[in-house]
Amino acid sequence: MGSVSLLRQFLVLAFSVILTISTPSAATSLPRTAPAQLHNGRSYISRLLDIPKAWASRRPRKDLSQWLNTHPKLVENLQRYENEVVIRFNVSTDTHEAALRKAIDQMLLDVWDFTNNYTDIRLEARRIRPLTGILPPSLQENYSVLIPDLARAVAATYPSDTPAHSIVQSLENDRSITPANDIPSPRRQGVDDIFFHDYQPLSVIYTWMKLLDSMFKGRGLVRLISIGKSFEGRDIPALRIGIPPSGETPGTGSKNTILITGGIHAREWISTSTANYVAWSFIRSVDSDPMITKILESFDIVFVPVLNPDGYVYTWEVDRLWRKSRQRTKMQYCPGFDLDHAFGYRWDANHHQTEPCSESYGGDQPFQAVEAAQLANWARNETKNGVNFVGYIDLHSYSQQVLYPYAYSCAVHPPNLENLQEVAMNLAKHMRLSNGESYTTTSACEGAAVDDISTDRQPTRHKTRVEAGGGAAIDYIFHEFGAHYSYQIKLRDTGSYGFLLPSEQIIPTGEEVFQAMKFFGDYLLGNNGHETWSDSVTDESQDKQANLAPGDVDRVELRRRRRRSALGEHKK
């Protein structure tokens, strides 16, 4: 067997190894003690070759009771969702939305999603009648049940059983033999997506990120970095992916950078899995797709799959539907901040939430949430070192939407609104072309309702939202760091599963976003998302003559002018 084939097989098998741990754990690193019988004097490769046999012993869980028998710790946790449902109110007027907002605040309800057309709410079935009792008559019967058995839906998102728990120790002990400089870019072989067949706990994600770092940093493609520490002291790791210029030490340059975050809200597991999937897709495509190569030569892409690690661990061990961080607040029994309302730009817009028990509570001052402050500090330090953020993608769920700034107000528009809208529509288009799923586009301020407020001088109109929009990450990164193309993408689905998207949809969702990111990178290169390889060579030589660096905002506009000029001459 040739060395390249052997290394490729090692890569596939190594990812299979990581999946042998999927039981939630409070630890952020994997155990380092393996049973003696795993070694037996056998070689590392022969032990790895046995892993597919162990993996093949996995069987899909047939029903909830069978699965719970193998996960006794979660039985008690699932009881919290007994008799809970998710309902959808159809919202057709500003008055309806304002009435819902008032009821939600009064009853401290968990809003799952809201748009201009509907609002999804999780609550105990017995609370539906009290809720409708305080709503206008036109809303009292204007709802439907989306998820009638929340406990069952929650249980279905946890991974199926995996054997050979401690084989990962073999990988941890012997991984140093990996010749990082010679590892080829992996190809699609079906099994290489095995990491994405289930949602993964934090410990497995961390090990997977370390594995990618050790395999590919020798060629300068991947570098594992740290954004900072969470409130509970967990690391917030990130993967910096890019091809360094010749002669430059990987990760030390000042390339234009695209930032992609996931897991800001702990329960949105698909956002974390998608960030990881897109990172992996860029890595494995670098030697086979000229467009990916061009993008990674021009930009670094920083993936932060779990910005809220404390909350993410809590969703695995205690409350699958926990949204916020786990930081202490002024109210002892209501911990946690909504990180997407904790950033410093227009933090207090639209009457920010002051109730710590609310799911959208962002704190009593900007950056009170540790994790939001850590991301902002890291980004600020990057800019001081010459990094220029040109794009930001914040992954969330659910509702299949592409949202652009501003989130804090619908009355104020960003100066490049037309370009933001154009790119948003193309992101949605490329996701639809991938798997046929439709994504809508709108401003992140959507969901605003209007109340009439009269004063002695004149009547005014004051915008109220189902959820306050100030302090959003996309507004902050857009405004403070000049990432002119900042978006929040709400992933699958549109409500049938909500935050409890089946694991079978991880890969299709990841593929949708990967195709969108290919367009995004190409657009930022100035090619309007449909560059041919010959075009890129010509444009690069012209850019050198114009003394423009790859990814410059001026370069984007210059290329468009060139193309418009060329089209005009052709018509003549």
Domains of the chain, CATH where assigned: 76-155 (3.30.70.340), 220-524 (3.40.630.10), 527-572 (no CATH)
Q: How far apart are CA 287 and CA 182, in angstroms?
A: 13
**DSSP H stretches of helix in 19-71:** 44-49, 51-56, 64-69
pLDDT at 447 exceeding the cut of 70: no
E strands present in 197-255: 222-229, 235-241
**How large is the average pLDDT for residues 431-459?**
70
Q: pLDDT-derived band of residue 442, with 50, 70 and 90 as boundaries?
A: very high
Closest CA to 389 of 518, 476, 291: 476
User: pLDDT value at position 173?
Assistant: 43
pLDDT at 366 exceeding the cut of 90: yes
User: pLDDT value at position 354?
Assistant: 85
Note the pLDDT tens digit of each residue in 55-112: 334 334 444 555 456 555 667 778 889 899 999 999 988 888 889 989 998 999 999 9
**Tokens representing residue 414 in the block:** 């960003």
User: pLDDT value at position 370?
Assistant: 99
User: pLDDT value at position 109?
Assistant: 94
Percent of the chain with pLDDT over 90: 58
Helix (H) or strand (E) holding 389: strand 388-397
Note the pLDDT tens digit of each residue in 546-559: 444 444 545 555 55
The DSSP code for 206 is H
The angle formed by the CA atoms of residues 28, 32 and 33, to the nearest 5 degrees, is: 135
User: pLDDT value at position 158?
Assistant: 86
Query: How many Å separate Cα 161 from the centre of its chain?
Result: 25
The DSSP code for 183 is P
Buried b (16+ CB within 10 A) or exposed e, 135-146: beeebeebbeeb
User: pLDDT value at position 192?
Assistant: 59
**How large is the average pLDDT for residues 22-34?**
38
Q: pLDDT-derived band of residue 503, with 50, 70 and 90 as boundaries?
A: very high
pLDDT at 52 exceeding the cut of 70: no
Note the pLDDT tens digit of each residue in 298-316: 999 999 999 999 999 999 9
**How large is the average pLDDT for residues 217-232?**
95
User: pLDDT value at position 308?
Assistant: 99
pLDDT at 8 exceeding the cut of 70: no
More confident call, 560 vs 96: 96
More confident call, 438 vs 452: 438
**How large is the average pLDDT for residues 40-58?**
38
Note the pLDDT tens digit of each residue in 109-139: 999 998 888 999 999 999 999 999 999 999 9
Q: pLDDT-derived band of residue 159, with 50, 70 and 90 as boundaries?
A: confident
User: pLDDT value at position 536?
Assistant: 41
User: pLDDT value at position 552?
Assistant: 52
User: pLDDT value at position 156?
Assistant: 87
